[in-house]
Amino acid sequence: MSTENTSDQLFNTSVKILTDLIAFKTISGEDNSSLINYCDEILQKLGATSFKTFDDEKKRVNLFATLKAKYPSDKKPIILSGHTDVVPVSKGWSTDPFIATVKNNKLFGRGACDMKGFIACTLAFAPVYSQANLDRDIHFSYTFDEETACIGAPILIEELKNRGVKDGICIIGEPTNMKIIDAHKGCYEYTTYFEGLAGHSSAPHKGVSAVEYASKYVNKLIELREKLKERSPKDSIFDPPYSTLSIGGIFGGIAHNVIADKCHVNWETRPVVKEDGVFLNAELDKYVNEVLLPDMKKIFPNSSILKKIIGEVTGFDRDKKSNACEFVSSLTGDNTREVVSFGTEAGLFQEIGISTVVCGPGSIEQAHKIDEFIILDELKKCLNLLEGIKKNSIVN
């Protein structure tokens, strides 16, 4: 069989698998076990060993599967990593978002680019790895609930630590048009709940307005936002160069003439360095415990302020000398490095010492949108990268 036929075959298999993957409605927060079992089955048939980690309800699953080296060497193992969840769909799609549809060299469907396209390529290529004389392990890492502030990956990372997996090269196939991304900010999301005492608006001194205390809290956040700007690192690679903070919404109150007993604030921060997140939370907690709460409790002792962490996606820091980036560069010939404004699981792998790069097929432009698609050529580029990895992972 000629090379061209093989690559055509691999491409067709990728499209077939991507079609299957899109049909699993793995919206974040929902059961993804059918998709995980589908992937596990493909890999196990090829001789991979695997383990799963779960959420508390055991409904949502991470898979970590390994094709072992036939000729173990000191080469670092490769981790091919993708998230299996997709964002919800809104009305207005031209096609059924869960039925892959090919039109004009594009494949449409929820998750086509973010990021089932990458997962499909890795699964299509797995038989090639399994038949090759691998001199390093190839891991397949498929996680749940990345889109809701990386809830799944930390559970897998814990297990990797337990198993002593703390070295390697990780490629996270988020849609970057196969460009090499080596950094992004963190993304921390919070909801802060205020509870005071309801009452008649004609006697504000007898109640505790949750809305008013929430306003003071928001003012404090805006004040701290300026402090974050002052803390901007000199050599920041990000735009804007400092940690940002944004108030997403304030919800509270029922009527003009009623003192609101409940209010909550949605807000987020995107730290350029971890220390900014620590600083911000410490300043905020201090303000709450030393100023706001005592004030509220003077009138109503059961008043409360509760900050709930929705998610804290770890930032991905640029490494001056990154094994992962250099490895991908050596395969693709692309020596550029870029930063992105979206968050990924990269920082989590990096934190346990695994050299990580974000590089995958498709464009973030089409992610999370109506009529999400991936240009089919992108799958071919991704398969080329996987082929390069094979050439670099076999005994000659």
| Residues with a known catalytic role | 85, 146
| Residues 169, 170, 175, 181, CA torsion sign | negative
Q: For Zn ion, which is the closer residue by CB, 228 or 385? A: 385
CB of 277 to Zn ion, least distance (A): 22
CB of 349 to Zn ion, least distance (A): 15
User: What's the CA angle centered on 385, arms 104 and 129, to 5 degrees?
Assistant: 110
- Is 323 within 8 Å of 76 (Cβ atoms)? yes
CB of 174 to Zn ion, least distance (A): 5
Burial of 374 (0-12, 13-18, 19+ CB in 10 A): buried
Residue 114: name the closest of 82, 92, 141 by CA. 82
DSSP string, 103-151: ETTEEESTTIIIIIHHHHHHHHHHHHHHHS-BSS-EEEEEES--TTTS-
- Within 13 Å of residue 87, how many CA atoms lie on the same side as its CB? 13
- Tell me how far apart the alpha carbons of residues 259 and 277 are, in angstroms, rounded to a whole number: 33
Q: For Zn ion, which is the closer residue by CB, 114 or 189? A: 114
Q: For Zn ion, which is the closer residue by CB, 115 or 263? A: 115
CB of 146 to Zn ion, least distance (A): 6
3-class DSSP state of 267: strand
- Tell me how far apart the alpha carbons of residues 221 and 62 are, in angstroms, rounded to a whole number: 36
Q: For Zn ion, which is the closer residue by CB, 303 or 350? A: 350
CB of 184 to Zn ion, least distance (A): 12
Say whether the peptide bond before residue 178 is cis (omega within 30 degrees of 0): no
- Tell me how far apart the alpha carbons of residues 9 and 127 are, in angstroms, rounded to a whole number: 12
Residue 171 carries which DSSP code?
E
Q: For Zn ion, which is the closer residue by CB, 115 or 328? A: 115
Binding residues (CB under 5 A) for Zn ion: these are 114-115, 174
Q: For Zn ion, which is the closer residue by CB, 115 or 221? A: 115
Structure tokens belonging to residue 381: 């580029």
CB of 145 to Zn ion, least distance (A): 11
